[in-house]
Structure 1
């Protein structure tokens, strides 16, 4: 059951009401603040909630270095690795996702994360695997048949 995930995006301007309103599953959303600064978004869905926490810009480069290192360990195909590293090099925002849902809504939560990632043209880190915007696993346990 997904409880945590991360979505890496190159264009933070995509993350707004236009995108969230286009995803029919999102019933409502509100901004989160910390120390009077925007720190994320709280999404409400029929099956639960997803908090999208903005990784602070001062921590982003270290966070991305960890993702690059992980990608180098789990992506075996050279072309796929080059592609993934290129995508990572363009990331400008990371959304740390905290997912709350009932066990019987695991499939709905997963589908939503993949849909949101697709809408944001991002890379999704879920279940120790890196997924592309189309839901295809690039590396990690999900690539094992």
Structure 2
């Protein structure tokens, strides 16, 4: 049996990183559900709100940001529009495309969720930094 080139510390750091990320994702899912949003809808709203490209957010770009298929993104946007979180608008530069924008309802819930997420991240930051430093130092 060949000896692994990875150290025990490498495996520990990777394990700790995955655990910490899973804890954050569990927190995020729970926080969104408390506000009545499925996790994927919360992620979509954040992706739309955080989009700062010169070109507006489209279903295709949303699919890319969420790592989902375009038809899945279309279904997701349909649900967001039906729930009153997102509007579709014809792209003035290309009438075949539709751009996405958040409604005030989405802005309000997203601000609440983002505030508690930032608090959680700030609390987790020292642990994450330690884990990442451990990974970096093992190079």
Q: Structure 2-normalised TM-score? A: 0.30
More helix by share: 2
